[in-house]
Every structure is written in structure tokens, then in C-alpha cells.
Structure 1
Amino acid sequence: MKIAMIATEKLPVPPIRGGATQIYLDATAAIMARKHDVTVLSIRDRDLPDVEKNKNGVSYRRFSQETYIQEVANHLRTETYDVIHVCNRPRWIRHIREASPDSALVLSIHNEMFRDDKISYAEGVDCINAVKQIVTVSDYIKMTICDRFPQAIGKVATVYSGVDVETFQPKWTAQGEKIYAAIRRELGLEGRKVVLFVGRLSKVKGAHLLLEALPSIIKKHPEAVIVFVGSKWFGDNEVNSYVRYLYTLGAMYENNAMFIQFVKPEQIPQLYTMADLFVCPSQWQEPLARVHYEAMAAGLPIITSNRGGNPEVIENGKNGYIVKDFSNPEAYAALINKLFDEPSSSIQMGKYGRQKVEREFNWEVVAAKLLRAYGEERG
């Protein structure tokens, strides 16, 4: 098959600036390219050429961010593809169908893109009629489409995202043990109990709840430290009012809170390895944050909020805990203390999560499911 994968207009592919959908497209494209002709379309970036073919056999074409969809459509008028995979932009389907009327269209949805404030009912129906398949990153996102558009039910399927399990090393492996010691030494965290948060520093991500939980954590575990990895936006270390609030609150516990601003995607796995547990305190209806896959791959037990699709990858008590009282800092503190109190149980949960991600959420599994959505026969 000749396949085009169309990224959004936000960030480039490969994901040199981060971005969950960019990681998803780049990883699955590399696997598909073993058997198929794959081209990824994305926006230009100063550090990437406009046209290239990488060592995995994936071709890339990059266009201006300002006129992106128009340039993509122009490309599709001159290049024929069997399948066009459109990422997270249902309103683009009309333009793409007009530009490439004979291609099979597959739409992957990573956010609530079928809400009434995102797309009109008429546009939604037209989109659903035009595509062959819609794949969603969680059952929660699937529900948001089918509740409003029942006619989509037969076309929508959940295909969970994935992670490169080789990139993440749990601390109990030989390589992980070395990383664990080196990063902790570099950060001055030797002998500490480390809680990790990775994500944008925005109120909906709930970082403030972990800082508000600190007094109850420190009371039982004075050696505990929460490490926050992230900034207000991908690659942007500008400080806004919320980030300033976090820094001010964190300064009250300077020995127990650490902030690491945006780091390159390739540096993230080591930070997971050096942690003891991972917390995702999201307050919004998260589609399903990819940090869950990364934490499992690193062998960390997970504490996550009961919001959106996040609980779908957690088997409560086996690879982590789901916080139903998700806006209460003390609910997070209680579970963090529980995991710190039971280190052997914490390790077992981390190992179960690692096995789960190897089995269910590696990129080979994700790519195979996408190819079936494209029309490739099983086997």
C-alpha cells in the first residue's frame, strides 16, 4: 500500500519538539514502512529539511504552518495514495476528499474533536460518511463521538497508543540500575523517594495538587521529593501566572520539590528510570495521556485521576491506583504514602505494568491494528 499520514499543524514530525500525536505517527510509520510505501506530511521546522527519506524508509514532506492544509491538499492532487491517514482534524476531511477522491480515508482522533464547539453537526456527518474508519486513542474518546453521532458506531474503533519499550529501562534491569544511579547523582537525589510528574504545567494537568499534597507526604516520608518535568507548552519555558504560582508554592518546600523545564524527548526516559512512582493528577477529561504508557514502560507504579480515558490502562491495585476523589490533594498523598510504605508491593506493581505495556502497548501492536484499519488483511 501507498500510505500518507497527515500530522496536525501544531508540531513537526519527527517529534523533535515533543507532542503525543507526533510520536504516535513517527513510531507507527517506521514499522509500516517495512512493508509499505509511507509518507508523513507535517509542518516545516528550522531544524528539518522540507523533503527527506530517513533510514527506516519513511518519506517526509513538510509545508508552511500558515498555509498547511492548502499545501497538503495541493500535494495530494499531484501524488496518489491508496490510504490517507488524517490525524485529529475531522474538518480537514472535506478538503482531502476533494483533493484525493479515490483514496481510502482513515481518521485518528486523539482529543474531543467531535464536540459541538469543534465541528458542526452537518460537518460531522459529512466527515463520518467520507471516511472508511475512525480510530480513537481511548474508549472515552470513542464515546464522545458515538454519543453525538450514533451513525458513526460501526466505523469507530479504539486503538490505544503505544511506546518504544526498548527506550525505557526499569531500574531493576542492569542498564536501568546504572541510569538510576547516574541521574540521581546528577540531580542530587541519592537516597530520596522520588515522585515523578511529566507534562505541561497547566492547571488542568493538576500539578498544584501534588504540591498541596506535600505536607502530608513529608510528614510520613521527609525524604520524599516530587520532580516536575515540563513547561507551560512544548519547548516553551516562558513563565505564566500559573507556573509562577507553582514555583512560589514549591519554594515553600525547596528540599522536597524540584522543577525541570522542557527537556528534549530523548532525555525523558532516563528521568522515568530514576523515579519510584508516577502520578498523573489531571483535572480535565484527558483523552488518555501517553505518560501512562511511558511510566509503565519504565516499570513505575502509577497513580492517576479518574478522568477521561486515563483509567482505561490501569488495573486498580495491579499496575497502579485510580483516584476517584481526583481534586483532593489528600487522596494523592494517601496513595503516595501507601506505595512508599510498601516498597516490595510498589516494585511488583511496576513489573506488572512493564509486562502489560510489552504485551498490549508496544508500537508493533499499534501499527498492526492501524494497518488492519487501513485494509491490510490479517496474517
Structure 2
Amino acid sequence: MKIAFICTEKLPSPAIKGGAIQLMIDGIAPYFAKKHSLTIYSIVEPQLPAKSIENGIQYVRFPQVNYYNDVVKDLSQHSFDLIHIFNRPKQVKKIHHASPNSIIITSLHNDMFSPLKIAESEAKEAIQYTNAFTTVSEYIKRTLTDRYPKAKEKTTVVYSGVDINNYPLRSSQKGKAIRQQIRNKLQIDEKKVILFVGRLSKTKGPDLLIKAMYDVIKEHPNAVLVIVGGKWFSDNGVNDYVRSLYELAAPIKNHILFTNFVPSKDIPNILLAGDVLVCSSRWHEPLARIHYEAMAAQLPIITTNRGGNAEVIFHDFNGLVIDHYYQVESFTKCINFLLNSPELCQRFGKNGRLLTEMNFKFEHTATRLESVYEKAMKQK
């Protein structure tokens, strides 16, 4: 089968600049390339050629400014059995017309059917021309099917995942060595390390964690919050919000460490250096992939009951789920509780790792996605 993946116009593929969609594509592409002819479209990037073949996968890259028009033109010159459009239902109609005999799969990684993002007429056309939808969480599925019930029979949840081989066990010799190496590098050797990993945006809530640290360090004077991320994926620029974080952290600067952007390939090592991972999202998070990564790294997780987060983090099993996500005190209480409970942290970490091994490896994602493909092909 000839398959085309159409990546979004935001970041390149492979995921050299990060991005949940790009990382998912990187994870599942090898499985499809073994059985099928796979072409991946993405935007150009100075570090990458316009066209290349890597590990049996053909990459075609176009400038961001006219990206989808270039993709459509290229599609019309080929014959794909199946085209998978990532997170851009507004592009479905034109892609269908460029390749009318192809099966169209549209995956949703955000609330892309919000009336703020797509007109009702465009939404109905996207549903008409899409053979099957996949969503990264039950929450995102509801954002589609509650508005457009006709899409329900076409929609399947396909969770993302991780490459478990990139996450050595904490108890292993390799895991211990990496943990010590990273802690030495960051000069946090003897600290209790709370990790935040994500973009430095208000929706992600790192300001809540900095505020929480003012009280955490009263009970745990050797605690440090390590904030991993930049303003926008690989962009370490400073805007008003990032500047406010630095100012907020200044009075307790010995307990707050900003690393800036860390490449996705290095995240597993960073996670090994931590003791607790906190996802402080205020917004309706589709389902932040840091949860999968932290579970694979055997970290206890504190997350917010927003969007799809609580679909993989189960309160008192592999972490703690906060309902009052706007209250600094909620984060303070949970962080202190876990730092005072090393045996519970270990149990949460082990449970999370087991859950990942059983359900959230990239091979699980690829297998579920292939099942959707096969069903759509049969129904054509």
C-alpha cells in the first residue's frame, strides 16, 4: 500500500525541533515503512534536504509559506492508496480533490473542530471527505462528535506513545549512571528534583509551580524546580510571559533552574534525573505526551484534570490528579506529599512504567492505527 503522511506546517519531520505530532510520526513511521511505501510531507528546514530517503521512508519538504498548496500539487502527480492528514481538517477537501481515489484519514491532536478554528461548512465537508478520524484522546473525540454526531461512527481514539528502549530502568546500572551524569551536569546532585517539561506559556502553567515552590522549600529546603522548555519548542526567545517567570523566580533563584529548550532525544535522560514530574496545564490539554514519557521513565506524576490528561494518569495509581488546577496550594500540597512519600513515589513510578509497556509503546499506536486504515480500506 502507498501511504502519505501530511505533517502540519508548524514544525519539520523528523522531529528535530520537537512537537508532539512530529514525535508521533517519528515513532510510528518505521512500523509502516516495513510493510508499505511511505512518504512523509513536512515543511523545509535548513538542517534537512528538500527531498530525501531515510530508512526506506521518502521525505518531501516544502516552504512553510505555501506549504499545503505545494503538497496538493505534488499529491496530484502521484497515486496514494491512503493519505493521512495530521491535525488539519480544513485541508481535507482540497487534498481529496487532488487525490480523489485515496482513502483519507484525518487525525486530531487538538480541538480542531472548534468554531474558532473551522467554519461549520468546512467542518461538514471535512467529515464528508474523511473516511476515518483518529483522535489522541477520548476528550478530543468528544470535541468532534458532540458538535458533529455524524462523525462518531468514523472516529477512533488512538493514543500516542514512546519508544520504551530509550528509557532504561531507574534501578539499572545504565539508569543510575545517566541520572548521576545529568544531576552532576545541572548541579543538582543532592536535590529533590521537581520537573516541569513543556513550552513556557501561560496555558502550561509553569508560573503556578514557581509560586508553589515558595512554600515547598519551607518544608523541603533542598528542593529544586527544573523548568525544561523554551518559549516555543526550539525557540528560547523571551516574551512578556517568560520574562515574568524569571522575575517570579528571582527571589528563590537557588531553587529554580531554567534549562531552555532540550532536544526531544535528550528528554528521557532529563526525566531520569527527576524525582517528580508536574504537568500544570490550565487549558483543555488534548493529552500531553510528557505523561507517556514520564511514565516510561518511572516518575510519579502530578497532573491537572484538564482535557485528556486523566485518561492515562489515574489518581493514586501512577500519580495524583489535581481538580483545582488554578490554586497554587493544590500543587504545593501534592508536591510536598510526594516528596515526603518515597515508597509511594516508587510504586507510582513502577505502575506508570507497566502501564506504558502494556499500552503506550509506539508499536501499540502503529497497530491501532493500521487497524483503522484496514477498516477504512474495506469500507471504501
Same fold (TM over 0.5): yes
Per-residue deviation, residues 36-92 of structure 1 (Å, max 9, x unmatched): 11111101111101111112x111111111111111111111111111000000010
1: CA distance between counterparts of 2:168 and 2:341?
22
1:265 deviation in Å? 1.8
Contact 1:76 1:100 in 2 (8 A): yes
Structure 1 partner of 2:244: 245
Q: Answer whether contact 1:303 1:323 (CA < 8 A) is retained.
A: yes
Q: Match for residue 35 of structure 1? A: 35
Distance 1:211 1:54 in 2: 42
1:126 to partner: Cα distance: 1.1
Cα distance in 2, alignment partners of residues 358 and 344 from structure 1: 21
Note the aligned Cα RMSD (angstroms): 1.2
Segments of 5+ residues of structure 1 without an aligned counterpart are none
Counterpart residue type for residue 259 of structure 1 = F
Alignment of 1:330-345 (within 5 A): 330-345=329-344
Q: Deviations over 1:199-224 (max 9, x none)?
A: 01011100000011112211111111
User: Which residue does the alignment assign to 1:168?
Assistant: 167
Query: Do 1:181 and 1:190's aligned partners in 2 also have CA atoms closer than 8 Å?
Result: yes
The C-alpha deviation readout for 1:98-135, integer Å capped at 9, x for no partner, is 10000000000000100111111111111111111000
TM-score by length of 2: 0.97
Residue matched to 1:26:
26
Structure 2 counterpart of 1:102, one-letter code: N
What residue ranges of structure 2 are gaps of 5+ in the alignment? none
TM-score (norm 1): 0.98
Between the aligned partners of 1:155 and 1:44, the Cα distance in structure 2 is 32
Structure 2 CA distance for aligned equivalents of residues 299 and 174 of structure 1: 15
Question: Deviation per CA, 1:10-51, whole angstroms, max 9, x where unpaired?
Answer: 110000111110111121111111111111110111110111
Alignment partners' CA distance in 1, 2:171 and 2:118 = 47
Q: Which aligned pairs between 1:64-143 and structure 2 lie closer than 5 A?
A: 64-143=63-142
1:252 Cα deviation from its structure 2 partner? 1.0
Tell me how far 1:173 sits from its aligned partner: 2.0
4+ long deviations beyond 4 Å: none
Instruction: Check the 8 A contact 1:171/1:179 in 2, yes or no.
Output: no
* 1:295 aligned partner, one-letter code: A
Distance in 1, matches of 2:245 and 2:19, equals 23
Count of residue pairs brought into register by the alignment: 377
Q: Which has the larger displacement, 277-286 or 163-172?
A: 163-172
Amino acid corresponding to residue 224 of structure 2 in structure 1: V
Deviations 1:277-307 (A, max 9, x none): 1000000011111010110011101000111
* Match in the other structure for 2:316: 317
Written as runs of structure 1 = structure 2, the 5 A alignment for 1:182-221 is 182-221=181-220
Structure 2 equivalent of residue 180 of structure 1: 179
Give me the identity figure in percent: 45
Hey, what's the Cα distance between the residues in 2 that align with 1:296 and 1:72?
36
